């Protein structure tokens, strides 16, 4: 299985290059899935994964992530979304990621670099997700964290495309209401 995350983080703090090798061995598939689902391009996805390792190296220290997997996933996802935005600004494309971003944009505020606000929103979303049934939570995370397509979700969860889209819409609406109840304006 490889080295445990606490030891990998300790290697980063020691500035030991083995941290990168261990991170790559343990998380390359996970990071590639996130970036490729967003970008739909092998080369761009791999570049984002490689950039994730560099960002992690530069961020640890001073950060000491409690969950290395989530820390790396967030970096990879942000890099892929930035790359996607740059690519589509050049091409004016659309596709799965454009749809995904449009869905997500409707239920979240823009924190635009305001770290305190972003942390509060993340904690609130985590509370919301814990309140969902296991299946609805998995569906939501697979769509909005991993960037799985609707067709992939139908194949995984069964049912029809319409059922999956309806469930995601309802969950986004519930999230929006939950955020507003928590005094986070959307």
Give the residue extent of every domain in the chain.
Answer: 5-93, 98-181
Mean pLDDT of 61-85: 90
pTM (two decimals): 0.70
Q: Which CATH architecture does the domain made up of 5-93 adopt?
A: Orthogonal Bundle (1.10)
**Residue 183 predicted with pLDDT over 80:** yes
**Residue 114 predicted with pLDDT over 50:** no
- Residue 71: name the closest of 14, 140, 6 by CA: 6
Task: Give the rounded percent of residues in the chain with a pLDDT score beyond 70.
Answer: 83
Helices (H), 14-160: 18-39, 42-59, 68-91, 96-105, 115-130, 134-144, 150-157
Give the per-residue pLDDT at 87. 82
- Residue 139: name the closest of 155, 124, 119, 125 by CA: 155
Pick the CATH number of 98-181 from 2.60.120.260, 1.10.510.10, 3.30.450.20, 1.10.10.10: 1.10.10.10
């Amino acid at each position: 299985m490889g080295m445990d995350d606490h030891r990998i983080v300790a290697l980063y703090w020691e500035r030991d290059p083995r941290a990168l090798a261990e991170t790559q061995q343990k998380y390359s598939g996970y990071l590639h899935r996130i970036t490729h689902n967003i970008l739909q391009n092998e080369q761009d996805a791999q570049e984002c994964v490689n950039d994730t390792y560099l960002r992690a190296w530069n961020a640890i220290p001073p950060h000491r992530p409690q969950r290395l997997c989530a820390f790396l996933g967030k970096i990879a996802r942000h890099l892929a979304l930035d790359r996607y935005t740059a690519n589509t600004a050049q091409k004016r494309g659309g596709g799965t990621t454009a749809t995904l971003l449009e869905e997500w944009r409707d239920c979240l505020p823009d924190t635009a670099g305001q770290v305190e606000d972003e942390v509060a929103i993340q904690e609130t979303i985590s509370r919301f997700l814990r309140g969902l049934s296991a299946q609805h939570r998995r569906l939501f995370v697979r769509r909005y964290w991993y960037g799985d397509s609707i067709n992939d979700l139908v194949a995984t969860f069964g049912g029809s495309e319409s059922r999956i889209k309806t469930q995601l819409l309802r969950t986004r609406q519930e999230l929006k209401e939950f955020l507003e109840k928590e005094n986070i304006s959307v």
